[in-house]
Chain A
Amino acid sequence: MNGKPGVATADGCSSNGDENIIHIDHITKIFGENKRKVIAVSDISFDVRRGEIFGLLGPNGAGKSTLIRILTTLLRATSGTACVGTYNIATDPEKIRSIIGVCPQNSTLDIELSAYDNLDFYGKLENVPDEILPDRIWELLEMSELTDRANMRVQTFSGGMRRKLEIVRAFIHKPLILFLDEPTIGLDPEARREVWQQIAKLNAANTTIILTTHYMDEAEKLCGRIAFVDRGKLIALDTMENLRKLIPAGDLIEIGVEKMDERVVQAIRENSLVNAVSVLEQKVTISATNGSRLLPALLAIFERFSVPILSISIRTPSLEDVFIYLTGKKLDSGGEGGPPAPGPRGRRPS
């Protein structure tokens, strides 16, 4: 599950191959000291392949942003190392900065400047040649449908418009690798779809994309491979299909109840069609080889122990189910499994 043994050694990344563009080797990040110590990233290793859309999926506070910040040279790892392109994050941060584009989770637009000026500022910092910069800016404004607002202050923009501007800004210099930290957070469905199209288009143009999200549909829609992260640890990493296979084959039956009886769980487990049973809050999730054939038997069990059923449904498992299966908690509800790790200076990364 953890990344295969290092392509690169601790000191050199030049051999980081054609296949892998990012190689992460036992990265750990600890904030604070002694009593107030928080482990934000705990011994994570994996590789990202050239040209793929890689998803980092996990609840708020899982350590996704911290990991992204380490890879984008904003934070130093407490231990471990990583290669981005052919450069080591510890020894060659400048080189890395020139091949990556980053869209951070929190807005980093200068709201006192216009959309055009924001892009112009970044274009210059990213060393986009002056003769192509204006054309590139208009192209990006077109892409984000902000052409008519080019000279208005970002202050006057809606959340969605700001987000779109921030995303296009991240690839003003056509980076080799694009990091998108929660790219569609706070966007309406329409805007999200536009962003997804944008990401897919960029990927088609050979940009490797690493995106973090806690939206299942986003990961399902875009990502080739997905890494589950929870409480700083890598839980699973694979393609969508393979992750689904982690859940014992078959259907999922969800039964809503007022109060669960341990004996009922016991009785359900005894049925040969049942692969797994989990109880989360007031919901029993049963994984079965053939859901519809099992239903009558289940109803009989609930009847026998007189536990009233509030709702019942059968479906094929989603990515979220895989996550719940692996971690025992839902993606959207960070913090259930323990306090979320504070980021640098108390900000909560996710």
Chain B
Amino acid sequence: MIRGAVAIFKRDFKKFMSNPFVVVMTLLMPIMYLVVFGNAMGGTISYIPIGVVQEGPPYNNTPLFLNSVPLLSHYGQPENYPRLFDVTVYPSESSAKTDLTLGKLEGVVVFPSEVSSDHAVRLYLDSSDSIMPPLIESGVSSVLLQQDAQNTILVDKIYGDIHYLTFFGVGIIMMAIFTSTMFGGGIALIKDRENGIHEGYLVTPVQRSSIILGIISSGTIRAFFAGFTIFWIDLLITGIVIHSIQAFLLVILVIFIACIGVTSLVVSFASRFSAQQEYASTVAFINLILFMTSGAFYPVLGMPDWLRWITMINPEYYGIHALRSIILRNQGLDVIGIDLVALLIFSTAMIILGIVTYRRTLE
């Protein structure tokens, strides 16, 4: 029994050691978890974009308004930390609110005019994000306290109360897409290579673009089923309400385009790898980075700069942003158009990469 066990051990270990790629990946994974997960989740949120405005119709600026703007701008995080707010002064309440609904601002603070009856400070918050509203709220109230102002704060969460579960649930749609591409996307190509089956069809006139496009199409459909199913489950668990048929169709469109993007990314890797093990560890690695930096868990504002750069080229970021805009904020194509364009550019680049790197010979 021992002899057999030793033989099996030796065989397995030899294989493991003869594949340095997998060895490195095994070590790299936990390190990346530490670095990416730690930074993405525990980061200090800073530079939250907020708008401040003096209540209209145009009245003179009140002392409270004039004093609060610099105080909010320098509102203190502990020392050595970047400031919390990025304050923009708006000339009118309506323009500030427009920017809030377009997602350019996280909150708008409206200071009361001299003729105001209740002297209340009104605070409008983008509540589709569950982490920043309380930060803004506490910032504003402590700035008022510093000035001994007795004004009440009226908080208006413009999208109602949204729980973290709902916030996160949208991200999970993206995760479903990614996991299904991990197992479905390019694995067929690699299995063919491992079993030597590809030798059979590489001698036919089939073009490599046909091979890649065929695999991407089937992977996209599979990922779409996963994403769409999770979307329904999300609706049931988190109680999200889709307000219109347009919004519903937009969600489907976004999920579909995100599927193309993520599948083509995964296939572009598969077109080169020849072993499932290498492929799986690479894709798991990428999955980690992309999901962590996508903003699914935690606002991108809380991430260090280098992680935000990854976000810029992360298809999941655009997918999640678009889905949140539609589902949580009831926004339309005017807001998510840019996300769709980014996803399509990304997909095209990945499809081309996949085709170009596909090995048409056995070497």
A residues in contact (CB < 8 Å) with B = 69, 72-76, 93-94, 97-98, 100, 102, 104, 106-110, 121-122, 125-127, 169, 344-345, 347
Contact = CB atoms under 8 A, between A and B. Distances in A.
B363 A344 contact: yes
A74 B362 contact: yes
A75 B362 CA distance: 6
Interface stretch (B52-60, B197-205, B311-319): B197-205
A74 B204 contact: no
Contacts of B362: 69, 74-75, 344
B197 A72 contact: no
Contacts of A73: 202-203, 361
A74 B203 contact: yes
Interface in B293-339: none
B239 interface: no
B199 A104 contact: yes
8 contacts: A69-B362, A75-B363, A94-B205, A102-B200, A104-B199, A108-B199, A121-B201, A125-B205
Q: Which 8 A-B pairs have the closest CB atoms?
A: A108-B200, A125-B204, A102-B203, A98-B205, A125-B206, A97-B205, A74-B362, A72-B203
Nearest to A99: B205
A126 B204 contact: yes
A332 to B, nearest CB: 24
A106 B196 contact: yes
A182 to B, nearest CB: 14
Contacts of A169: 200
Interface residues of B, number: 17
Contact of B361 (A74, A102, A108, A122): A74
Interface in B341-363: 360-363
Given A97-B204, A122-B201, 11 more contacts: A69-B362, A74-B202, A76-B361, A94-B207, A108-B200, A108-B201, A109-B200, A110-B197, A125-B201, A125-B204, A127-B205
Given A106-B196, A108-B197, A110-B197, A75 B205 contact: no
Nearest to B193: A345
Nearest to A95: B205
B125 to A, nearest CB: 54
Contacts of A110: 197
B363 A76 contact: yes
A210 B158 CA distance: 76
Contacts of A126: 204-205
A22 to B, nearest CB: 15
Contacts of B207: 94
A104 B203 CA distance: 10
Nearest to A102: B203
A210 B197 CA distance: 21
A294 B202 CA distance: 57
Contacts of A72: 203
Contacts of B363: 75-76, 344
A106 B203 contact: no
B361 to A, nearest CB: 6
B40 to A, nearest CB: 39
Contacts of A93: 360
A73 B202 CA distance: 8
Contacts of A344: 362-363
Nearest to A98: B205
Nearest to B192: A110
Contacts of B203: 72-74, 97, 100, 102, 104
Contacts of A102: 200, 203
Contacts of B206: 125
Contacts of B274: 345
A105 B211 CA distance: 23
